[in-house]
A and B are shown apart, each in its own frame.
Chain A
């Protein structure tokens, strides 16, 4: 199965700022997925990222808040924009068939 590297592994950010999370896969994949795991909660899909097209967002998530790039078949970024403490979560990158990176633990203060 694919190996996924995520950066940063954790960060503490000031409210109102933005953070870009990087996801690198060791093989070419068609789709990449971004999930959020709020403290003590399960995982929720934010969006699906296809190379060469706009990401598809799930209900409750919008592009202005979570812009995604997918410049090639092995890389994607997720930006968490204009952060508030409610954005404190673990953000996870995934590729099919359900392989996850180790996640980015974000704390907004």
Chain B
């Protein structure tokens, strides 16, 4: 089955700096890659996603890049703010007929210091 590796496990940045989180996946058939933000006591919130026919996608301060050949994708957050502090998860569509069946990375604890 699909295996997703996520790095780093923790990331500490100063407010205003950029943050980058990287994931690799194993199944070359995977074609949907969402990113989630999870705040304490809450469920994961989808913040951005990318499909395999696209190399990059941006939404304001957040961007995701995908390299299908190398089987890795990355989350980029620019101009970080303290409210960006949370746990971030990458995921890959693991197969079957639905985008709901996801394999998750191990998570990255992002801390943005004021």
Residues of A within 8 A of B (CB): 1, 6, 30-33, 41-45, 48, 90, 92, 94-103, 105
Contact = CB atoms under 8 A, between A and B. Distances in A.
Interface string B88-107: 01010010101111111111
Given A42-B105, A42-B106, A43-B89, A48 B43 contact: no
**Contact size class for B?**
20 to 34
Contacts, number: 63
A59 to B, nearest CB: 8
Contact of B34 (A6, A31, A98): A98
Contact of A100 (B32, B44, B106, B107): B44
Nearest to B91: A98
Main secondary structure of the interface of B (DSSP, over half): loop
A48 to B, nearest CB: 6
B46 interface: yes
Main secondary structure of the interface of A (DSSP, over half): strand
B100 A98 contact: yes
Nearest to A44: B104
A45 to B, nearest CB: 6
B42 interface: yes
Nearest to B103: A45
Given A45-B103, A98-B46, 20 more contacts: A6-B43, A33-B101, A41-B106, A42-B104, A42-B107, A43-B91, A43-B102, A44-B104, A45-B94, A48-B101, A94-B100, A96-B98, A96-B100, A98-B34, A98-B36, A98-B100, A98-B102, A100-B43, A100-B45, A103-B42
